Structure 1
Amino acid sequence: MDATKLRRAIARTWLAPVAAFPKRLVRVARYDTKLLKVSARWLVTSREHHNYTYDLTWLSKSHLAWLVSVVCDIPVKQVKRYIQEIEGDEQLRRHIEQTTRNAARRGLADRQVRYARRVGWYAIVRARRPEHVVETGADKGLGSCVLAAALLRNAAEGHPGRVTSLDINPEAGYLARTAPWSDVVDLVIGDSIAAIEALDRPVDLFLHDSDHSRTHERREFDAVEPKLAPGAMLLTDNVTVTNVLADHAERTGRRFLAYRETPINHWYPGDGIGVAW
């Protein structure tokens, strides 16, 4: 009996798991060893303790471009140009590096500028040209800066807009407190639900990125629903954890798509973007 026939014969017996164990063990060991190396490197080189930053694999970035193309109904080539636009914004990159270096929380932030899925946020804002964006959960203000950069580009093309960034931490948003980005950012410190209910103008684009509990996420979408402008788009940064936005989309008659990012050389498996429109 040749080797192939022998393997097939064994596969039909109780010996199959035993025979396959060495190969399975090698594959698991290789994966775990790589993950341990990446994790050890991150522990030594990074300062971040939450809200991790990283770059995306080229494939993950390509998939993100296609998501934006579909939900915004524009050619994927245009989306890729928008992504290149934010990645090539040297003024913003220098600002983030310098502000991080001098910030009070510099001991808990990396100086390297890595946008990850936020390039998708940028492309969506560039494509849809919203007059009012609302973001919950500003943290350092990296996302706020990315949104502001898109709004500034839109304004230069005759489509002005502003972003209202909400966070409960008084120290949040420090990256977005410098002109020209601060010129289009309204930073509101306080409870997100109360702040959403107090909004006095329609919301064209809403992004949930605050307390990621299922209950709070649902409360934010329920609170913002009556504040939305016709044709508004809803985003969630919590799509890899909950189905809240998908359920909200189904309940309100919207379409929904989700994307999960793949970081380069990071132990964290990545977050994602959920879109309802």
Structure 2
Amino acid sequence: MDATKLRRAIARTPLAPVAAFPKRLARVARHDAKVLRTSARWLVTSREHHNYTYELTKLSRHHLAWFVSVVCDVPVKQVRAYLNEIETDEELRGHIERATATASRRGLADKRVRYARRIGWYAIVRARKPAHVVETGVDKGLGSCVLAAALLRNTAEGHPGRLTSLDINPEAGYLARATPWAGVVDLVIGDSVASIGALDRPVDLFLHDSDHSRGHEKREFDAVEPKLAPGAMLLTDNVTVTNVLAEHAERTGRRFLAYRETPARHWYPGDGIGVAW
């Protein structure tokens, strides 16, 4: 009996799990070794302790382009142009590198600029041309800079817009305090739900990226609902953790779609973008 026939014969016997164990163990070992190498390299080379930054895999970037194309109803070729636009914005990249290098919190930030799923935020703002974007959760201000860059491009094309950035930490947003990006950003320090309630103009695009507990995320979407302009779009950075936005979309008669990113060369499994429109 040749080897192939022998394997097939063993597979039909009670010995099959035992015979397959070495091969299964080898596959798990190769996977775990790769994860450990990636994790060890990150521990040595990165300073980040939360809000991790990384590049997307090539495939994940392709999927992101199609995701934005569908939710914004624009050609995928145009979305790819938007993604390339933010990735090749050397003025913004240079600013972030310099601001990070001189910041008081530079010990917890990486020098290399990596946007991950935030390039999707950029493309959505470029495609939708919102007059008023509101984001909750600012941290260093990387996402704020990306959103502001999109608004500045829109303004140059005759579609002006502003970003209201909400955070409870008075030290938040240091990356977004320089011109020209600061020229379109209103940084508001305080509780996000209370700050949403105090908004004095309609919201065209809302992004939840603050306290990622289910209860707080729901309170933000409930608070912003009466503030929304007709046809407004809702985004969440918490879509891989909760179903809050999907439930809100169903309750309010909207469509919903989710994208999950795949980081390249990073131990973190990634986050995503949830959209209701």
Letter of the 2:267 counterpart: W
Quote how far apart the aligned CAs of 1:15 are.
1.3
1:194 paired residue number: 194
Quote how far apart the aligned CAs of 1:2 are.
3.0
- What TM-score does the superposition give when structure 1 sets the normalisation length? 0.99
Distance 1:143 1:137 in 2: 9
Query: 3-state SS of the aligned residue for 1:164?
Result: strand
Letter of the 1:82 counterpart: Y
Distance 2:38 2:46 in 1: 11
1:125 paired residue number: 125
1:176 paired residue number: 176
Letter of the 1:117 counterpart: R
1:255 paired residue number: 255
1:106 paired residue number: 106
2:53 paired residue number: 53
Query: 3-state SS of the aligned residue for 1:224?
Result: helix
1:95 paired residue number: 95
Tell me, yes or no, if structure 1 residue 221 matches structure 2 residue 221: yes
Quote how far apart the aligned CAs of 1:225 are.
0.6
Quote how far apart the aligned CAs of 1:10 are.
1.9
Deviations 1:53-96 (A, max 9, x none): 00001100000000000000000000000000000100000000
Letter of the 2:45 counterpart: T
1:211 paired residue number: 211
Q: CA RMSD in A?
A: 0.7
- Runs of 4+ in structure 1 displaced over 6 angstroms? none
Distance 2:144 2:244 in 1: 23
Query: Aligned residues, how many?
Result: 277
Distance 1:267 1:155 in 2: 38
Letter of the 1:25 counterpart: L
- What TM-score does the superposition give when structure 2 sets the normalisation length? 0.99
Query: 3-state SS of the aligned residue for 1:250?
Result: helix
Letter of the 1:8 counterpart: R
Q: Which range is displaced more, 139-148 or 19-28? A: 19-28
2:142 paired residue number: 142
Structure 2: runs of 5+ lacking an equivalent: none
2:70 paired residue number: 70
Quote how far apart the aligned CAs of 1:16 are.
1.3
Deviations 1:10-54 (A, max 9, x none): 222221111111111111111111110110111111010000000
Deviations 1:223-242 (A, max 9, x none): 11111011000000001111
Query: 3-state SS of the aligned residue for 1:163?
Result: strand
Distance 1:199 1:13 in 2: 69
Query: 3-state SS of the aligned residue for 2:196?
Result: helix
Structure 1: runs of 5+ lacking an equivalent: none
Letter of the 2:23 counterpart: K
Distance 2:132 2:241 in 1: 27
